[in-house]
Structure 1
Amino acid sequence: MRLDAEFTTEPFRGEDDPPPHATAALEAARSAGLDCVFGPLGTSISGERSVLLAALADVVDAALEHGADRVTLQVQLEGHVPPAPAPGGLEGLLAQVAAELGGDLRALPRADKQRAVRLLEERGAFDYRKSPEIVAEALGVTRFTVYNYLNRERG
C-alpha cells in the first residue's frame, strides 16, 4: 500500500531561498528513498506505507533541528479521491473550478492548485464559513498551504 503525504515547515519566508528547516526535511525524505516534490509552500512525498511512515519521524526531526517551530503534516492513501461535490454553494464553485482545470483538484500540479485557489477567491469561495478547510480537503493539501496560496496572490 502506498501513501501520499504533504508537509509544510514554519516559519514561512516568502520568496527568498528555502529556509534550512525546509531543505533539511526534504533531504530526510529523499534519504529514505521517497518520491519528493519540493515546492515554495510545502513538500509532497509518496512511497510505500512502511517506508513513508518510518521516514516521517526523521523528516519532522530534521525540520525541528534546523529551525522549524512548527511542522504541518497530512497523510492519505495514494490516489484517494474525495466524494463528488453537491451542486451549489462552495461545493458548486469547487466543481466548477475542477471542470475548468481538467477534473480532480487533488491530481493537479502545484501551479494549477495555486490557480484553483486564485479562481475560487475571485468567485467568492472564501466568503463561506470554514472554506479554507473545505478547499484544502478538495485540493488534497493542508489549510496552511491554502492560506499561503492566498497570501501569495494578495502579496
Structure 2
Amino acid sequence: MELRAEFTTEPFRGEGDPPEHAVRAREAAAKAGLTVDFGPLGTTAHGDADAVLDALPEIARAALASGATRLTLQVSAGDAVVAPEAPPPTLHRLIHEVEAQLGAPLADLDRPGKQHAVRLLEERGAFAMRKAVVTIAAALGVTRFTVYNYLNREH
C-alpha cells in the first residue's frame, strides 16, 4: 500500500529562501527514499506505507531540531501517487500572450520582468487553473517558491 504524507513547518517566511526547518524536513524525507514534492506552502512525500511511517519521526526531528515551532502532518492512503496531468492549453496560451506582450520568453526576462509577467498572468486568471504554478515556474525558469514570492509581493 502507498501512503502520502503532507506536512508543513512553521514559522513561515514569505520572501527569500525556504526556512532551514523546511529544507531539513524535506531532506529527511528524501533520505528515507520517499518521492518528495517541496513547495512554499508545504511538502508532500509518498512511497511504500512502511517507508512513509518509518520516516515520519525523522522528518519531525529534523524540522524541530532546525528551528520549527510547529509541524502539521496529514497522512493519507489510496491516491498517494497521482500522475501529473498536462496543463490546460489555455494556460499555455496565456503564457504565450504574456511572452508576446513582453517581447521575450519568460525564462529570458530579468527578475523585475518575471515579477511583471507573474502579475500579468495573475490579472488574466492564470493562477486559477490547475497546475498553474508548476507550469508558470517552469516557463520562468524559477522554483514554485519563487512564483509564490512574486505573487505575494505588493504591486
TM-score normalised to the size of structure 1? Answer: 0.53
Q: Which residue of 2 aligns with 1:39?
A: 39
Question: Which structure would you say has the larger Rg?
Answer: 2
Match of 1:111 in 2: 133
**Corresponding residue for 1:72?**
72
CA distance in 1, matches of 2:33, 2:3: 13
| Secondary structure class of the residue paired with 2:58 | helix
Structure 2 residue aligned with 1:14 = 14
SS of the residue corresponding to residue 33 of structure 1 reads coil
Partner of 2:23: 23
Change (3 A) 1:110 1:6: farther
CA–CA distance in 2 between the matches of 1:153 and 1:2? 34
Structure 2 distance, partners of 1:25, 1:8, is 9
Q: CA deviation at 1:41?
A: 1.1
- How large is the RMSD of aligned CA atoms in angstroms? 2.4
What's 1:53 paired with? 53
Q: Give the aligned residue type for 1:45.
A: A
**Amino acid paired to 1:111:** V
For 1:69-108, what aligned pairs fall within 5 Å after superposition? 69-79=69-79, 101=129
Once residues 63 and 6 of structure 2 are traced to their aligned partners in structure 1, the CA distance between those partners, rounded to angstroms, is 14
Structure 1: gaps of 5 or more residues: 81-99, 102-107, 113-148
- Alpha-carbon deviation of 1:34? 0.1
Structure 1 Cα separation of the partners of residues 71 and 132 of structure 2: 19
Q: Which amino acid aligns with 1:43?
A: T
Q: How many residues align?
A: 92
